[in-house]
Structure 1
Amino acid sequence: MYLSEISGIAIKKDGFFENFGKLGRIYLENSISFIHSEKYLPDIDQNISCIVCNEELLPFFLDKDMGIVVSKEPKNTFYEIYYTIYSEGKLNYSENKISDSATISPKATIASSGVVIGDNCVIGDNVVIREGTILGNNVHIGNNCVLGSDGYEVAKIYGSSKIVPHTGFCILKDNVEILNNCCVCKGLFRGYDTIIEENVKIDNIVQIAHAVKIGKNTEIGAGAVISGNTIIGENVWIGPNVTLSNKIKVGNNAFVSLGAVLINDISDGERVAGNFAYDTKKFMKEFKMKKSEE
């Protein structure tokens, strides 16, 4: 759509956009984004077709081939544009595609659009599957899980704080198994999708936030909390009650011990423990020394 189709915004130059994104994470062409500080100028790339900026930054964009909206509060205006388009039903999903071989509890709730369920999937009692959820083949979902829920993104829209409705996808690939009472959020925008790769196994009461990516054969223990935009590699062990901060990167074959609180990236094969988490051998050595002094 064109900026000129949206009322209530100060358009300096008209432009066309199809997608939304945040600077540094613009994944799709023809995206609209926002900027409020010069330090983010290096993140402007060819996928941005429209920008919301303040008066101070306007000179940086006047000679660029992109639409421009001027605002004293660019972030708020960006989300107001998004919310307006969402409210008008312009970010809807396609029709459901559910395999005849899937076993779905009569107590489950399936959204009326935007859901794909592959062959031989098993959906338990009281499962809620929201729009934008795509399940591969042989996916098993335990009782009371919620798939494709909105994540936690708060913005000021039309003067009041709101949890921003999500319009991305929640994708679970072949042979993923999730036990009971788990929540897997979908992506905030299209292209910011939550993706759980093949053969991932997830224990009870696990929270997976928006735009998380989990690699093949990873196992996640009960009570884990994985914050938004976190990337977990393949063959990783995430122990019970582990908390991962947002935008963390966990390498392949890593091991995160139970109860750890991870605030920094960890590399391939690294083993960490503690709150805040660091190298397991060092953690255990210091722990034993402390115990011996008691």
Structure 2
Amino acid sequence: MPDTRFFQTLPSLTVAELAAQIGGAVERGGDRSIASVAPLSSADRGAIAFLGDRKFANALAQTQAGCVIVPPEAVEAAPAEASVIVSRTPQASWAKASLLLHRAITLDTAITPQDAAEDDSVVIEPGVVLGTGVRIGRGSRICANTVIGPGVQIGRDCVIGSNVTVSFALIGDRVKLYAGARIGEAGFGATGTAAGVMDIPQLGRVILQDGVTVGANSCIDRGAYDDTVIGENTKIDNLVMVGHNCVIGRNCLLVANTGISGSVTVGDNVIFGGKAGIGDHITIGEGARVAAGAGVLADIPAGETWSGYPARPIRQFLRETVWLAKQASAKKAPKES
């Protein structure tokens, strides 16, 4: 269930009612009541999930979801106890169900600094807007013209810079967000429908653990359903992008212009050089290093240093670079008369 501090849960619908509104056909169990959406792996009997790719067939077989949305060829693989909706675009149908069952809480009303602050040591500069349910720990400072969305929790001794936006987020102690940072915006998720491409609702959160620093104009997207997590004491430079569902370990360094795609898992003590780019659903082991400008398209084992595009172990990259340089020099050498 999405966090109720950030998302309103709307009235339940039956499977038949959902199918009629999301462009699917009921295969069985149309009378079952559904209250929420969830992934296959974490859904319960009151939730609806979907199969979008055959590689998740095992998750479909093991799911506890009350209802599953599947393509026609996967009906027989659905658990016998689950209701089934058939759709040729399961992810799009699930996204439509999300909009029918959950709604983000918007900043319709603001609260006073006195309502949000733990005590008088909290400093709220001019122009700050605080949504309903915001809590700010003692010793923290919120700088001018920053917007803190409904339900956000900020720990103690934090500094939130000017013109920052924070939403759908839980922030630990001693966190620094520099000017223009964007925390908790919707992740980049889209899927095809018969009418064209549609956005997939993002129902997760951002969790910044103690001691995290986020540089100016950097963006950390909230999870699509699970959380985006930045581990303790990780330091993020200016102009860095962290996509939805990423889990970044402790004591990591992300240098300027690094871009990390969605659902990347990073171990502790990892360093990313400037302009490093990481593909989605990649795992980077503890203590690894990614050289500046590298394009990572495969998992990196713990402790290794990778460079180049596509990135590979640095010794291999250097050998290939030297070989190419020798070949180029040989071709340019003058021929003997």
Deviation at 1:58, TM superposition (A): 2.6
In the alignment, which residue of structure 1 is the partner of 2:146? 108
Instruction: Give the counterpart of 2:195 among 159, 170, 176.
Output: 159
2:114 equivalent to 1:80: no
2:240 equivalent to 1:203: no
Deviation at 1:38, TM superposition (A): 5.7
In the alignment, which residue of structure 1 is the partner of 2:318? 284
Unaligned runs of 5+ in 1: none
Q: Secondary structure at the match of 2:204?
A: coil
Residues 238, 255 of structure 1: 8 Å contact kept: yes
C-alpha distance after superposition, 1:77-128 (max 9, x if no partner): 1111112223597xxx9832222421001211111x1211000110001101
Deviation at 1:28, TM superposition (A): 5.0
Deviation at 1:37, TM superposition (A): 6.3
Question: Within 5 Å, which residues of 2 pair with 1:1-294?
Answer: 1-4=12-15, 6=18, 7-8=20-21, 10-11=25-26, 12-13=28-29, 14-17=31-34, 19-23=36-40, 26-30=41-45, 31-35=47-51, 40-44=56-60, 45-61=62-78, 64-87=80-103, 95-111=133-149, 113-130=150-167, 132-156=168-192, 159-189=195-225, 192-293=226-327, 294=329
Residues 18 and 97 of structure 1: CA distance in aligned 2, closer, same or farther (over 3 Å) = farther
Cα distance between partner residues in 2 of 1:137 and 1:37 = 40
Unaligned runs of 5+ in 2: 1-11, 106-130, 330-337
C-alpha distance after superposition, 1:15-37 (max 9, x if no partner): 455553445xx245444222266
Residues 3, 67 of structure 1: 8 Å contact kept: no
After superposition, the CA RMSD in angstroms is 2.4
Residues 206, 222 of structure 1: 8 Å contact kept: yes
Cα distance between partner residues in 2 of 1:100 and 1:182 = 25
Cα distance between partner residues in 1 of 2:325 and 2:166 = 48
**Structure possessing the higher radius of gyration over alpha carbons:** 2
Cα distance between partner residues in 1 of 2:35 and 2:151 = 18
Cα distance between partner residues in 1 of 2:255 and 2:39 = 31
User: More deviation in 41-50 or 262-271?
Assistant: 41-50
TM-score normalised by L of structure 2: 0.77
User: More deviation in 280-289 or 250-259?
Assistant: 280-289
Deviation at 1:219, TM superposition (A): 0.6
C-alpha distance after superposition, 1:171-204 (max 9, x if no partner): 0000001111100000012xx1100010000111
| AA matched with 1:76 | A
Deviation at 1:167, TM superposition (A): 1.8
Cα distance between partner residues in 1 of 2:203 and 2:52 = 24
TM-score normalised by L of structure 1: 0.88
Residues 217 and 16 of structure 1: CA distance in aligned 2, closer, same or farther (over 3 Å) = farther
